Amino acid sequence: MFIELRQKGIDMKIGVDIASMALKKFVDRIVLIAGDSDFVPAAKLARREGIDFILDPMGANIDPTLFEHIDGLEDSSHAQKISHHTFKRKKEENKETTK
């Protein structure tokens, strides 16, 4: 139970940060790496303020109530593999052009 309470505290801090950034117009887009319903109020507020609210669950399940309040969905769970492959390919292309 202690772990749950601690996690809720972290979620609340993230939610407050999202609200603050949205209300102060510090950002145009927020990408949240999570999927639980604790972030529904923050997502609603950000969207009301005109912020694109994108969710990246990194392969985890998304709570349906949160899914209703997002503008888009990204999945970066494979991004590291993709970026590594792209970097390697570009590095090889650069070697060929310098010959």
- Report pLDDT for 49: 97
Number of folded domains that form the chain? 1
CATH number of the CATH domain containing 36: 3.40.50
Please, are residues 78 and 61 in contact by the beta-carbon 8 Å criterion? no
Per-residue burial over 49-63, b if 16 or more Cβ lie within 10 Å, else e, is: eebebbbbbeeeebe
- Report pLDDT for 79: 53
Query: Coil, helix or strand for 29?
Result: strand
The tens place of each residue's pLDDT in the chain, 99 residues long, gives 455 555 668 889 999 999 999 999 999 999 999 888 999 999 999 999 999 999 998 888 899 999 999 999 988 776 554 444 444 444 455 555 555
- Give, for 73, the enclosing helix (H) or strand (E): strand 72-73
- Report pLDDT for 82: 46
- Report pLDDT for 44: 97
Query: Coil, helix or strand for 8?
Result: helix
Q: Where are the alpha helices (DSSP H) in the chain?
A: 2-23, 40-48, 64-67, 79-97
Please, are residues 62 and 80 in contact by the beta-carbon 8 Å criterion? no
Structural domain boundaries, residue 14 = 2-97
- Give, for 58, the enclosing helix (H) or strand (E): none
